[in-house]
Amino acid sequence: MEAKHYDSIIIGAGPAGLTAGIYLSRAKAKVLILDSGVAGGQMILTHEVANYPGFESISGYELSNNMRKQAKNFGCDIMSGISIETIDFESDKKSLSLSGGKRFTSDTIILATGGRSRNLGVAGEDNFKGRGISYCATCDGDFFTGRKIAVVGGGNSAMEEAVSLTKYATKVTLIHQFDHFQAFQHAQDEVKANPKIEVKLSSKITSFNGDEKLESVTVENLLTHENYEIALDGVFIFIGYEANTDFLQGRCIALNDGQEIITDANMQTNIPGVFAAGDAIAKRYRQITLAVAEGTIAALNAMEYINKHKSTVSQPVY
């Protein structure tokens, strides 16, 4: 099968990848966006986005749909549900193949594969995934209407989702291993003010228990080492993320110890013509605004790279 050529191939169709696609295709570059899941990335898991400028409140689904349509209308080809089989970053002409045999080449690649929720790694976790254990309040919160649940974590996601889950659950026990939370103060204040939330600091779940579905968790008080059981129907785990860079491990793209992609301020990786943006890169904050900004920077620099290598593509439109 002959390889189809693009000016840029973007891997990942979250806000970073879609923004990069919008900028590049608007500059008349030929762009292919590939996603192993569905376009939208983590935004699709987000019930409400209230901190994206221009929208006081918008569902993550609607925001991702808007971005996807905009990228498509500017001319990006978007393929969802793909699996990358081979990839060559190092040649001047980059190339990749998908399982099923489709092959593509490009002048530039933008890596925008985001991240995913981290597992707790506790006995019983795998058994009860989807049968009481969830990593997405928006997807599964409604299943726990009128029930007792726990939320694990102490960052912004854990605290915001604990509050949002009180819409469904009769009681939310918030379990965190440290003696303080890491979340923004306003998120902590909302938790404190919510009578449905009970906080258990310096505590950790040591096992998930049940038969067909989750029935209880065993919790250890890390100060007294006392173990006790909490009867509940569900546990939502929000303890951070891992960059989706498994497919890059052992390849030429430089990653840090956390397996996040290392970029410079131009979103350039260590390989010329390969850029990266969004939650997959090494950085402190992970937000849609940042993914969008980095997608923009990656696209503008990719465009400059393309123009240097090829004179037929127009200048970027700012």
Instruction: Choose which of 9, 11, 163, 235 interacts with ligand FAD (CB under 6 A).
Output: 11
Shortest distance in whole angstroms from residue 282 CB to ligand FAD: 12
Does residue 279 have an active-site annotation? no
Instruction: Choose which of 21, 29, 30, 42 interacts with ligand FAD (CB under 6 A).
Output: 42
Does residue 139 have an active-site annotation? yes
DSSP bridge partners of 6: 106
Burial environment of residue 267 by CB neighbours within 10 A (0 to 12, 13 to 18, 19 or more): buried
296 binds ligand FAD (CB under 6 A): no
Shortest distance in whole angstroms from residue 12 CB to ligand FAD: 3
Shortest distance in whole angstroms from residue 115 CB to ligand FAD: 5
Shortest distance in whole angstroms from residue 263 CB to ligand FAD: 12
12 binds ligand FAD (CB under 6 A): yes
Q: What is the 3-state secondary structure (H, E, C) of the chain?
A: CCCEEEEEEEECCCHHHHHHHHHHHHCCCCEEEECCCCCCHHHHHCCCECCCCCCCCECHHHHHHHHHHHHHHCCCEEECCCCEEEEECCCCCEEEEECCCCEEEEEEEEECCCEEECCCCCECHHHHECCCEECCHHHHHHHHCCCEEEEECCCHHHHHHHHHHCCCCCEEEEECCCCCCCCCHHHHHHHHHCCCEEEECCEEEEEEEECCCEEEEEEEECCCCCEEEEECCEEEECCCEEECCHHHCCCCCCECCCCCECCCCCCECCCCCEEECHHHECCCCCCHHHHHHHHHHHHHHHHHHHHHHCCCCCCCCC
**171-175 and 197-200 strand pairing:** parallel
Structure token pair of residue 170 = 């009769």
Of the pair 3, 293, the CB lying nearest ligand FAD is at: 293
d(CA 177, CA 185): 18
37 binds ligand FAD (CB under 6 A): yes
Of the pair 11, 151, the CB lying nearest ligand FAD is at: 11
Instruction: Choose which of 26, 29, 35, 106 interacts with ligand FAD (CB under 6 A).
Output: 35
Shortest distance in whole angstroms from residue 192 CB to ligand FAD: 20
Of the pair 3, 84, the CB lying nearest ligand FAD is at: 84
96 binds ligand FAD (CB under 6 A): no
Instruction: Choose which of 22, 27, 109, 112 interacts with ligand FAD (CB under 6 A).
Output: 112
Q: Scan residues 139-158 and list those touching ligand FAD (CB under 6 A).
A: 157
Shortest distance in whole angstroms from residue 131 CB to ligand FAD: 20
51 binds ligand FAD (CB under 6 A): yes
Catalytic residue among 7, 35, 107, 140: 140
Of the pair 224, 249, the CB lying nearest ligand FAD is at: 249
Shortest distance in whole angstroms from residue 179 CB to ligand FAD: 25
**84-88 and 94-98 strand pairing:** antiparallel
Instruction: Choose which of 291, 298, 299, 303 interacts with ligand FAD (CB under 6 A).
Output: 291
Distances (CA, A) of 1 to 97, 140, 153, 277: 10, 42, 48, 31
Does residue 76 have an active-site annotation? no
Listed ranges 38-46, 146-154, 213-221, 228-236: which one lies at the site for ligand FAD (CB under 6 A): 38-46
Residues tagged active-site: 136, 139-140
Residues that bind ligand FAD (CB under 6 A): 11-17, 34-37, 41-43, 45-46, 49, 51, 84, 112-115, 157, 244, 247, 278-280, 286-289, 291
